[in-house]
Amino acid sequence: MERQLDKAPHSPQLWEKLADLYLQKEQVDKAIDAYEFAIAIDPKRESALFKRSLAYMITDNKTLRDKGKDFLEAYCQRHPEEPELRKMLDYIEVLCDKVNFTPELPLPFDDSVTDHTIDWDMLRDPQTPYDEYMETVDMLFDGRYYQKAREVLDILLPLHPDEGILYLDYGSLLMQDDNIAQAENYFKKALLKVSKQDRDFFLGEIGFQYFAGQLYPEALDYYHRIENIQEVRDHLPYMAACCLELNYPLLYHSYLAQIDPENNEDDYNECHQAFYGHLPNNLLPKEMKPFLKQLFDRYNT
């Protein structure tokens, strides 16, 4: 993305996409800076204004949080067709009330709080039931506290060496650090430990980890090993996106051929959604429709 920006530094689409990537990596300050560039080039770009406001909401700067909240409140009024955003803002307000949301107080699940909320004695007890220790692991993953999750898994893995989900989670953490080779080792161990009933779910989860890391051949390799039809359909949009990235029109067509559009319209449409994610960010609006038509002609013979 940065190389593309070297060639097209005045593209608000590229700056916004770069900001999105920074935000996915939880580099909030860099994300805000990139959104600012997009807005400086196109001051009325509502998508960048919206996402910058979301980024403001997760900073420690009360002035920025208030600014973000004001924009999102106004956005809700302009877009009553998006009730989920209204619910999200109401939920954030409840959290703010609980912790007063001032820089002097720790946010929920901050590392300093997590050390006290985790029952370390429970985790170190080899007799602790599966559901109890997995509740802690899930809480940390849901809150994206990956370093703390790693500390917990370092304790649990030697105590529960036959639990495949622990290897799967650890491999996912290693993928976050771009430690691909070591992550692959943990994924292989996870598949050795998992029951036949859950194997297809594990394959799908591993495939998605590679997809998210833009390792498309590896993602397809895991997806192709899934036997359960419904599990395959759940991942069809990602499989289709892999085909677009790798220029595999015949393989894409074979996925689509597995779906009856009359009886599985949602699956069929989701497979087509991959085209929109594949749109180059520097296209002008008038260029998007011809580009999409060219893709459809190539991939849907």
Task: Report CA Rg, the chain.
Answer: 22
Rounded-to-integer distance, Cα 178 and Cα 183, Å:
9
For 49-91, what is each residue's pLDDT tens digit?
A: 888 988 888 887 878 888 888 888 887 777 776 666 666 666 6
Could you give the C-alpha distances from 288 to 10, 42, 89, in angstroms and in order? 18, 19, 33
Q: Residue-wise over 96-134: b if at least 16 C-beta within 10 A, else e?
A: eeeeebeeeeeeebeeeebeeebeeeebeeeebeeeebb
- CATH classification number, 1-108, choose in 1.25.40.10, 1.10.287.70, 3.40.50.720, 3.40.50.920: 1.25.40.10
Residue of 152 and 44 predicted with greater confidence: 152
Predicted TM-score (pTM) of the model is: 0.58
Find out whether 107 and 99 touch, Cβ atoms under 8 Å: yes
Find out whether 54 and 68 touch, Cβ atoms under 8 Å: yes
Which 3 state secondary structure label does DSSP give 128?
coil
User: Which pLDDT belongs to residue 110?
Assistant: 42
Rounded-to-integer distance, Cα 164 and Cα 187, Å:
9
Label residue 178 by pLDDT band (50, 70, 90): confident
Residue 61 φ/ψ region, left for φ over 0, alpha for ψ in the -120 to 50 degree band, beta for the rest: beta
Q: How far is CA 75 from the centre of its chain?
A: 24
Q: What is the dihedral of CA 2, 289, 210, 53, to 10 degrees?
A: 60
Residue of 164 and 298 predicted with greater confidence: 164
For 212-224, what is each residue's pLDDT tens digit?
A: 888 999 999 999 9
Rounded-to-integer distance, Cα 219 and Cα 217, Å:
5
Domain boundary assignment for the chain: 1-108, 235-301
